[in-house]
Structure 1
């Protein structure tokens, strides 16, 4: 039988993060595969796009998407757009 679940180690004991179907007071072989960072807020992992969003800065240019070539490459502004 093989069971996979996430657990948090507090320095002494592994605490499963969800209900597990194991018999109490029974020895099991445990294989540790990796380490995951746990966010301090709410004890859950931070969604990757949330971290990326925090890096965004206001560039002060309201038409950057429409005139990307002008700002990035010095080409003429796109005046054909409504």
Structure 2
């Protein structure tokens, strides 16, 4: 992460970047991503949907190698899909 912040990339791909972090470190890291987001496009690949609600501009739901749904939190909640089912179960 230090190299990312130092090099200031224009595009960043993060695959399960916070999966091994405790909650405090994860929250700190997500706040850092929010700060660099205006100057850097971030593709965040994650199974942890709770992080995406407040940080993702667009969420893509990939099933069987195909994008099944996409949109922001509000749009995805309007239909029945993997994402909306998750949030309905975890209210």
For this structure pair, what is the TM-score category when the shorter chain's length is used for normalisation? Answer: under 0.3
Higher normalized strand content (fraction of residues): 2
Q: Which entry has the higher C-alpha Rg, 1 or 2?
A: 1
**TM-score of the pair, normalised by structure 1:** 0.21
Higher normalized helix content (fraction of residues): 2
* Greater relative contact order structure (CA < 8 Å, 6+ sep): 2
